[in-house]
Each structure stands twice: as structure tokens, then as C-alpha cells.
Structure 1
Amino acid sequence: MCDLPERLDGATNTVLCAPSMSGHAGGGGLCTELLQAPEPPGSVLWVTYTRSPSACVEAVRSSSIETASLSVIAVGEAPTGADSLSSVSIDSVSTPSDLTGLGITLSQRLSDCEDVVVCFDSLTAVLQYVELEPLYEFLHAVVGHLHAADARAHFHLDPSAHDSQTVDAVTSLFDAAVYVRDGDREIRTRKTLQE
């Protein structure tokens, strides 16, 4: 692991801006790094539009993350392979555009977990189903719920899939943004995001 926790300067919610095809679900392995920085989580909650629950579980289990519990909220298609994941809590939101249902499910999961770290994969996928304004309002509420739950979170966004106005609007909601370009990392905290 690198000096990522120190460079994030205490940020509790981060947007990971990386091409979707950059490996390890975008970000080239930074996802698992963010899940365990600055310390291993008590619980991991994975919200996914792009991966199956079993792929999310495999990503956590194949990394060095040691966690007491793992939960997955699968959005869109019904969970697959759930029968082999008996030790994992799996919820589903069947309609990808149902931000209200997702918000309720996410709030319930946050209240059930302690010392939770959230991976939200991916905002780019959400923007295929909803416009920017409802997503912005949803994220504003979610960031508030995360702060209230004393949770850390990171959200995946592929900046090459959106115009700069969309990327700027989304990143403005977070404490920090990690940009991955050609293997290099650029980290901006809230004060530099607003410059």
C-alpha cells in the first residue's frame, strides 16, 4: 500500500476517477487500497451496478482485507451465485433508476454495520439510467448518511465517459478525488477541488 491515506488528508468520502477498463474495477487496484486505508474495516459494503455479488466478494477475499462482515447491494439484474455466498448479506434493487429504493436499502445496511467502508461501483453506470440532477441530489443525501454513520466510502467514476461539467458537479460533493491517468495518481482534497 502507498501513502494514499496520508495524501487523502482525512477524507471520509472519495471519488475514484479512473477509466472503467483500467483493471481491478477501475483504478488499477486502488479500490481495495481505499477499502483498507487508513486501517482495515470492520465491515465492507459494496454497492454494485457493474459486477455480480460473487465478483465483489471475490475481490475482497482475494485481497488482504480482513473484515468481520461483507454486504453487497446489487442493482439491476438479480444476484447470481448467491447460494454460494451464504456468509454474505446480499440485497438487490431491481430497477437501476430507483435511487429512492437504493437510498433506503443503503441506509438500512449502514445502520446494520459498524466501522463500515463502502465501495460504490459505479457512478458512470448510474448515469446511464438517471440524469445528473437526481444523481447529484441522491449523492448529496448519501454523503450525509455516510457522515452520520461515521462511514468511509469511495465512488467509482470514469471521467472519460462524461463531459467536464458532469465530472466537476459530481466531484464537488466529495472530500477528495483520486484521478488515475496512465498509471499516475493525482489526489485533490476538498480545498483543491474548489479551486
Structure 2
Amino acid sequence: MGGSPTPADVALGEPSSVLLLAPSGSDFDEGACVDLMTADDVSGGNVLSVTLTQPPAERMTVWNRQTSEQSPARAIIVDASADHGETESATDPEDDLSSTFAVDVLRSNAEPVDIGMALARHLGAWESTPEQTRICLHSLTTLLDSFDRDAVVSLISALNDLCDATGATAHHHLDPTAHDDGVVATVRPLYDAVIEHVPEDGWTVTQAPDDAERPSFRRSTAPPGGTAGTDPSCPETIPMPYSFDQTLDLISVPRRRTLLYHLKDLGVGTVPIDELVDAVVTRERAIPARESPDSPESVRVSLVHAHLPKLADLGILELDAESAAIQYHGNPALESFLRYMETLELG
């Protein structure tokens, strides 16, 4: 890489979010990406890599070239590119990394919210693993070229919140030569650190002060007349009562998703907690990709002490400890979103 120091040589610390500024496809960009994903130990972490332009096989090739084919503990490439024609080559059985790098193919017209939901789903699935998860988003340049800037900024803010909540770290690629200074200036404050390759000086690092808060640039409540946008059976526009990051957080934990799927199917009304426990146990045991719960009692503990109180705090339900029941309120927009999510996850 031209003899200049790599990000691994720079005193970066452990920020949860990093903006990586370098020309797309350059040796600088690729080397820095793997430096940030591997840190000190290639095999000591989980890898979540989002690709919007390159097929998964090319992202895997970058990894091979930079790490001599060492494998992370777990790895998923989220394919959000418009053309999935080369996806199969990323899972070639002759490739030593194919058994480690799974590929999650999103719909061909995937939007920022689809990317956010996919990452939340995988982070939730790995929440109990001892290894830290490192996320690569490749790239913001493609997102900003394809979607409204506010939607991209909302995605960045929501992913930052997810990283903070789960202990993950993330870096997002941006090609500064593809944007005017205003775009770069808009996204810079959203990150804990900015790593930039300057031709004359090599890598430079700018970090936010320890007491600085990242601006969110997002609404905490839905705008008037907001749309569900996911269910053609809903003839009217219905406001979603939760912010984008709250919605991603809601579906980030597998057991909470299962609980929400069941409540959606039941509809508004009062439900005994015992019935919820039995339903969640039954549903989890029927999902091949999920680990079966240790016991109904372990499910009860997690529902009563974690998931039901969280849903109650958001106004999704009321929890009555005396009667050991909940009152589910429901919201057509949230349930439309959950139907969409359930289809993505379970088919």
C-alpha cells in the first residue's frame, strides 16, 4: 500500500462507528477495510459485510488477498446489490472460505430499511456469541447515489444505535472523490472516528471528543401521515408510531421477533402469559434456523423480565403482573412491517 501506514498502525482505539474515506476499489480502501474488520486477530471475531455493488465473490476475494485466507469465527455477506447474477460463485464448494462466509441475498430492489433489518437480524442471532462482531458497509457512495440522503442518514444513525447496544463495531466506506464537500461534511459528524487517506500524508484520523454526542438527524416519532408502506392490503396510510432505530431494535432479537409475530397473529386483546410462553416455545422449536429453547421456564424468564417490559415501555402492550396477562394494543403499520419481516425470515 505504497509504504504508508495502515489504519492498524494508527492509534484508533475502539470507536463503535468509523467512516472510511478512500477511493473505491483502491488498495488503500481494500487494505484498510480488512484492517478494521480483523483488528489484532483474524479468527477472533464475527464479520458482517454488506455489499451494494460488488458480488459476494469479489468481497471474498478482497478478504483472501489481505488475510492469506484466514477465516473469522463467523461471517455473513449481505448481498444488497441490484444484480445477484454472480452470487452463486461466492459459495463455490471448492472455496475454502465458503463454509465460513454465508451469503444473505436481499431482494433486488432492496432499500436502506431492508439493509438495516438484515443487519439487525444477524446481530440478534449472534448476541450470545463471545466474539465481537465487526460490520462493513460497502458503500455509502452507492446508497447516496441511489436513495434520498435523509434515508441514508437515518440508516447510519440506526446502525450506530445497534452497534452501541450490541457492542459491535462498524466502518462505512465512502469515496470522497465521488461526492461534493457538502455530502462528506453531512455524514462526518455521525461517526465516532473518520479515517481518511490523503495522498501526500497517508492515513489521518479524526476522532470525536469523548463527551460529544453524535447527531442523529432523525425523527423520534413518525411524521404525520407516515406510511406503513409494506402491506398492499392496507388501503389507508397509517402512521408508524416508532422511529427507524426503535423498529430495528424491536426485531433485532430472535425471541422478541417470535413474540411479536405471535401477537400480530392473535390481534388486539388480553392474553395470559402462560399462553405466550407456550406459543413462543412451539414457534421457536419449529424454526430450523433457531436454537431450541432450553426449557419453557427459560422462555418465561426472558419474556417476563426482558421482552414484555420493553414492549410495554413502547406502548405495544400493557403488562398486568397480578393477573399474569398482557393486553395487546396492536398497530396496523407495525403489524404490516412484522408481516414483511416474517416473510423475509421464514418464507
SS of corresponding position for 1:100: helix
Q: For 1:59 and 1:173, how far apart are their aligned partners in 2?
A: 27
Give 1:33's aligned residue.
35
Give 2:255's aligned residue.
none
Q: For 1:36 and 1:12, how far apart are their aligned partners in 2?
A: 14
Give 2:89's aligned residue.
81
Deviation string 1:37-76 (CA, Å, 9 cap, x unpaired) is 2544421111011211112222223333541111000112
TM-score w.r.t. the length of structure 2 is 0.51
Q: For 1:82 and 1:121, how far apart are their aligned partners in 2?
A: 16
Give 1:72's aligned residue.
77
1:92 pairs with 89, 99, 105, which one?
Answer: 105
- The structure whose RCO (Cα within 8 Å, separation 6+) is larger is 1
Give 2:332's aligned residue.
none
RMSD: 2.5
Aligned length: 192
Q: Which runs of 5+ in 1 are unaligned?
A: none
Q: Which runs of 5+ in 2 are unaligned?
A: 93-97, 215-347
Q: For 1:73 and 1:94, how far apart are their aligned partners in 2?
A: 11
In the alignment, is the contact (CA less than 8 A) between 2:19 and 2:172 conserved in 1?
Answer: yes
Letter of the aligned partner of 1:50 in structure 2? T
Letter of the aligned partner of 1:171 in structure 2? R
1:18 aligns to 2:22 (yes or no): yes
2:53 pairs with 31, 50, 55, which one?
Answer: 50
TM-score w.r.t. the length of structure 1 is 0.86
Give 1:164's aligned residue.
181
Q: For 1:151 and 1:168, how far apart are their aligned partners in 2?
A: 25
1:152 aligns to 2:157 (yes or no): no
Q: Which runs of 4+ in 1 moved over 3 A?
A: 1-6, 38-41
- Give the CA deviation at 1:94: 2.5
Q: For 1:169 and 1:6, how far apart are their aligned partners in 2?
A: 24
SS of corresponding position for 2:29: coil
Greater percentage in helix: 2
SS of corresponding position for 2:158: helix
Letter of the aligned partner of 1:15 in structure 2? L
Give 1:111's aligned residue.
124
Choose 168-177 or 94-103, whichever is displaced more.
Answer: 94-103
SS of corresponding position for 2:145: coil
In the alignment, is the contact (CA less than 8 A) between 2:137 and 2:173 conserved in 1?
Answer: yes
